[in-house]
Chain A
């Protein structure tokens, strides 16, 4: 087992609500570590609607999803939150001596006095394409993400999709691959035009293949891929390949949270509205993942929940400290924490 990373508060999910929790916890001197399966902060705001306007953030008549996340990152910077991206929190258990141990899907271990689940609609996970029997190849020949580029050196790669992930990995892996074929269902791409032009230039130069179509079957055995059958506009054709990388976007799945011994109600975690604590003392749930009478899945509501949760978390982590209610406007001690006064 890897050595545990210790923190006061472990936050599962770095969406807007998890991010703002860092601020409220930070004002109370609690240090946070956030883990998210995505490769950057922001949850739904950055993954689903970075450029769309939000109109109901108090005092921001209009702000885009990405801008909101950028501002939150700026606001929490004084508290030096630690982030672990590209990791899913897989296991969570209570330690006999108090506190919790969480493990990621890659085996990292975290120990924290309090856990805050800010998991929104669940982990963003890759969509599986409609290819019969693809499950048998997953993790051996079929990958939905590239964690180590070296793993793909010298392979015959088949990349499927037309978004930025498909195009970026086509460009990044082309120099390493023995051979690379990109398959997309149409001639237009949603990816950045610059990437598309670079891909087409490589195709012109004979350095990769681009074919229009949809993968309908895989060939191979015991998870070892030999080729794929693609349905093209002029009939089926075959692509020899040893690795398949499908990029069809992400969808939210509750994931391992269901196995953590918490009471659940239709994939949501019931909490009380004073502390936003789950059925397990010391584990809190805020933002879209929780449920209580009158719950609204709004960013605004998640921010409120973060503030109240922080008060309860403080009493667990520092049981002997008295919490005095203070305003950031007038409290020099809070301002010192924020680094705006000395």
Chain B
């Protein structure tokens, strides 16, 4: 199990134990993290599971692929550390990962 921390816009934190292979979006939805809408259910088709990866974790998480970069064009308030959480797979070396939920998804 890998520990993930979500920080809501109001500062509330949610710590969850995630199974490797699942996505950061799926764990947010399962644990009711507010602000992750995931309208398309994880198909990289809607940009409503947008998160900001904590600066310290950006290298470990890596860069989005072209399809995700395209979809990020439709996300709200995109920054250099923006990712779609349905495209981040949980794995051992992400243990302790921190992501922030934007103020809105659109």
Q: A residues touching B (Cβ–Cβ < 8 Å)?
A: 48-49, 52, 121, 127-130, 161-163, 184-186, 188, 190, 214, 248-249, 251-252
Contact of B74 with A by CB under 8 A: yes
Residues of B within 8 A of A (CB): 37, 39-40, 43, 45-48, 66, 69-71, 73-78, 103-106
List the A side residues contacting B37 at CB < 8 Å: 251
Give the shortest distance, in Å, between B45 (CB) and chain A (any CB).
5
* Cβ contact of A130, chosen from B40, B47, B70, B76, cutoff 8 A: B76
Task: Classify the secondary structure of A's interface with B.
Answer: loop
Residues in chain A near residue B76, CB distance under 8 A = 127, 129-130, 248
Interchain CB contact under 8 A, A121 and B73: no
- A128 partner residues in chain B, CB cutoff 8 A: 106
From B39, B46, B73, B103, contact of A161 by CB (8 A)? B73
Q: Report if A49-B74 is in contact (Cβ < 8 Å); known contacts: A130-B104, A188-B69.
A: no
The total of Cβ contacts below 8 Å across the A-B interface reads 53
In addition to A48-B46, A130-B76, A248-B73, 5 A-B residue pairs with Cβ atoms within 8 Å of each other are: A52-B43, A214-B78, A248-B106, A249-B47, A251-B39
Cβ distance B25 to chain A, nearest Cβ, rounded Å: 15
Shortest CB-to-CB span from B56 to chain A, Å, is 23
17 A–B pairs (Cβ distance < 8 Å), ordered by A: A49-B40, A49-B45, A121-B39, A130-B77, A162-B73, A163-B74, A185-B73, A185-B78, A186-B69, A188-B69, A190-B73, A214-B78, A248-B74, A249-B46, A249-B106, A251-B105, A252-B39
Alpha-carbon gap, A185 to B70, bound state (A): 11
Q: How far is the CB of B4 from chain A (nearest CB, A)?
A: 25
- Residue among B48, B66, B71, B103 making CB contact with A251, cutoff 8 Å: B48
Whether B39 and A48, one on each chain, are in contact in the complex, defined by CB atoms closer than 8 angstroms, is yes
**What chain B residues lie within 8 Å of A190 (beta carbons)?**
70-71, 73
- Residues of chain A contacted by B105 (CB below 8 angstroms): 251
- List 6 tightest A-B contacts by C-beta distance, closest first: A249-B74, A127-B106, A190-B70, A130-B77, A251-B106, A48-B45
Q: Which residue of B lies closest to A48 (CB)?
A: B45
A252 CB contacts on chain B under 8 angstroms: 39
Residues on the B chain within 8 Å of A162, using CB: 73
A188 and B48 alpha carbons, distance in the complex (Å): 21
**Nearest CB in chain A: distance from B49 CB, A:** 12
Q: In the bound complex, what is the Cα–Cα distance between A49 and B39 (angstroms)?
A: 12
Q: In the complex, what distance in Å separates the CA atom of A249 from the CA atom of B46?
A: 8
Alpha-carbon gap, A214 to B73, bound state (A): 11
Q: Which residue of A lies closest to B40 (CB)?
A: A48
CB distance from B48 to the nearest CB of A (A): 6
- Nearest CB on A from B64, distance (A): 12
Contacts of A127 in B (CB 8 A): 74, 76, 106
Bound Cα distance from A274 to B34, whole angstroms? 35
Q: What separation, in Å, do the CA atoms of A248 and B106 have in the docked complex? A: 9
Indicate whether A251 sits within 8 Å of B73 (C-beta atoms), given known contacts A130-B104, A185-B78: no
Contact status A52-B45, CB under 8 Å: yes
* Residue in chain B with minimal CB distance to A251: B106
CB distance from A158 to the nearest CB of B (A): 16
A315 to B66, CA, bound (A): 53
Q: Name the residue on B nearest A127 (C-beta).
A: B106
Cα distance A162–B103 in the bound complex, in angstroms: 22
Of all chain A residues, which has the CB nearest B102?
Answer: A130
Quote the shortest CB–CB distance from A255 to chain B (angstroms): 14
Interchain nearest-CB distance for A64 vs B (Å): 13
A188 to B70, CA, bound (A): 8
- Chain B residues whose CB sits within 8 angstroms of the CB of A163 once the complex forms: 73-74
